[in-house]
Structure 1
Amino acid sequence: MKNNQMKFVMIAALVLLSTGVFAQTQFAVGIKAGPNFANLNRDESPGENYKNRTGFHAGAFALIKISKIGIQPEVVFSQQGSTFKYSGSRDLKSNFSYVNIPIMIKLYTVAGINIQAGPQFGILTSAKEEDYNVTTGKITEDNIKDDMKKSDVSLSLGLGWDLPFGLSIDGRYNWGLSDINSGASASSIKNQVWQFSVGYKLFKIGK
């Protein structure tokens, strides 16, 4: 008799616990987009020669949130690269495009504000670099994809705010950990990207 009572108490406790967890669980799918301010960390030249290249990113995300913790995998198309000042006057661009897959861990504080961190895995889709011809005075664009590694790994750190009506605002810094240079030059090249996003949850289940 006592064993049956113990079993009943344990089952009731598990049901109450699972009900409480389910009540605090949210699943959502949405889209996001915004500007990038990208640069390349090169060890071959003084850093002041390079400055940000402005691009954009756009993609989709899924959010699984349990109480104060969220996991948010994403698939994002991202324009990256840098701008190089040639001979002190002309701006030449390195135009890289990636499909990035960040997997963010989100710690929620108050009023939907959250701290974000996680790895990002990138797949290079295109890599072009502008070149200035002194003889003709024209700028051409060369395909340098074969000189770049086809994958990239970054650490993403950021701050977000989940607003009412399914809106969200995020700011992140994607710190490149991989050397993406596979060309003849021995110099190291790493991605650096500031990223600001506006997102919208297309549908949501739970709070």
Structure 2
Amino acid sequence: MKNNRPKFLMIAVLTLISVGAFAQAQLAIGIKAGPNFANLNTSESVGTNYKNRTGFHAGAFALIKFSKIGIQPEVLFSQQGSTFKYSGSPDLKANFSYVNVPILVKLYTIAGINIHAGPQFGFLTSAKAEDYDSTTGKVTEQSIKNDIKKSDVSLALGLGWDLPFGLTIDGRYNLGLSDINSGASTSTIKNQVWQFSIGYKLIKLGK
């Protein structure tokens, strides 16, 4: 029993440190939404021109903040894809929808301003692309979900500001790391998304 005393003391000290740390932590749950400016980084033929597609994202976040460091997981519905055109066609759209789960580490500086970064895991819910018939001049839309991988991994990099009264503002760039092309084409396709969000902490506990 005597030999176990140091272990018990160590466990007790670590428990007290953990309780003290959580007592000083801020816990918050909130909602956020804003516009997306999405594009696709692809090795496809240079005859196709890709441009930004405007969409939106919306969802919820949780924040655990320890003084200058915070951990913020989120669940977001996100409209992505691209606007594109090829020889003789009008502007066409590739419309991808994802449920994204970023897990961010936030470094706070002054007055609630923070830098954040972390991995984002995306799960495809729909993928549609427009096609142009040069003979009839008609634009049609079809599902290409079987040609797009069901999951995606990105690196999220951003800058945010936690304002008084629970408001949050942040801008973020999601750099696609994985090739989402699963079709017959050998070209690589990666998501690229700029996001700008306004959020509100519905529940806030701690400082």
Q: TM-score of the superposition, structure 1-length normalised?
A: 0.89
Structure 1 residue aligned with 2:189: 189
Query: 1:162 corresponds to which letter in structure 2?
Result: D
Give, in angstroms, the shift of residue 165 of structure 1: 0.4
Query: 1:121 corresponds to which letter in structure 2?
Result: F
- Can you list the C-alpha shifts for 1:151-181, whole angstroms capped at 9, x where unaligned? 0000000000000000000100000000000
1:206 has 2:176 as partner: no
Moved more, 128-137 or 94-103: 128-137
For 2:14 and 2:187, locate their aligned partners in 1 and report how far apart those are by CA, in whole Å. Answer: 58
For 1:70 and 1:204, locate their aligned partners in 2 and report how far apart those are by CA, in whole Å. Answer: 14
Give, in angstroms, the shift of residue 18 of structure 1: 5.8
Specify whether residues 48 and 157 from structure 1 end up closer, same or farther in structure 2 by C-alpha distance, changes over 3 A only: farther
| Secondary structure at the counterpart of residue 90 of structure 1 | coil
1:127-142 aligned at under 5 Å gives the runs 127-142=127-142
Give, in angstroms, the shift of residue 108 of structure 1: 0.4
Query: 2:182 corresponds to which letter in structure 1?
Result: S
Give, in angstroms, the shift of residue 22 of structure 1: 4.0
Structure 2 residue aligned with 1:164: 164
For 1:131 and 1:88, locate their aligned partners in 2 and report how far apart those are by CA, in whole Å. Answer: 12
Specify whether residues 73 and 18 from structure 1 end up closer, same or farther in structure 2 by C-alpha distance, changes over 3 A only: closer
Query: 1:37 corresponds to which letter in structure 2?
Result: F
Q: TM-score of the superposition, structure 2-length normalised?
A: 0.89
Structure 2 residue aligned with 1:83: 83
Specify whether residues 23 and 95 from structure 1 end up closer, same or farther in structure 2 by C-alpha distance, changes over 3 A only: same
For 2:96 and 2:16, locate their aligned partners in 1 and report how far apart those are by CA, in whole Å. Answer: 52
Specify every segment of 5 or more residues in structure 2 that has no aligned partner in the other structure, as ranges.
Answer: 1-9
For 2:51 and 2:61, locate their aligned partners in 1 and report how far apart those are by CA, in whole Å. Answer: 30
Specify whether residues 90 and 14 from structure 1 end up closer, same or farther in structure 2 by C-alpha distance, changes over 3 A only: closer
1:27 has 2:20 as partner: no
Specify whether residues 116 and 136 from structure 1 end up closer, same or farther in structure 2 by C-alpha distance, changes over 3 A only: same
Structure 2 residue aligned with 1:3: none
- Can you list the C-alpha shifts for 1:130-151, whole angstroms capped at 9, x where unaligned? 0011122110001000011000
Structure 2 residue aligned with 1:6: none
1:99-110 aligned at under 5 Å gives the runs 99-110=99-110
2:64–2:71 CA contact under 8 A, matched in 1: yes
Give, in angstroms, the shift of residue 16 of structure 1: 8.2
For 1:184 and 1:89, locate their aligned partners in 2 and report how far apart those are by CA, in whole Å. Answer: 23
- Count of residue pairs the alignment pairs up: 198
1:122 has 2:115 as partner: no
Give, in angstroms, the shift of residue 45 of structure 1: 2.8
Specify whether residues 18 and 118 from structure 1 end up closer, same or farther in structure 2 by C-alpha distance, changes over 3 A only: closer
Specify whether residues 48 and 160 from structure 1 end up closer, same or farther in structure 2 by C-alpha distance, changes over 3 A only: farther
1:41–1:47 CA contact under 8 A, matched in 2: no
| Percent of aligned positions that are identical | 81
For 2:144 and 2:22, locate their aligned partners in 1 and report how far apart those are by CA, in whole Å. Answer: 50
For 2:90 and 2:47, locate their aligned partners in 1 and report how far apart those are by CA, in whole Å. Answer: 17
For 1:55 and 1:93, locate their aligned partners in 2 and report how far apart those are by CA, in whole Å. Answer: 11
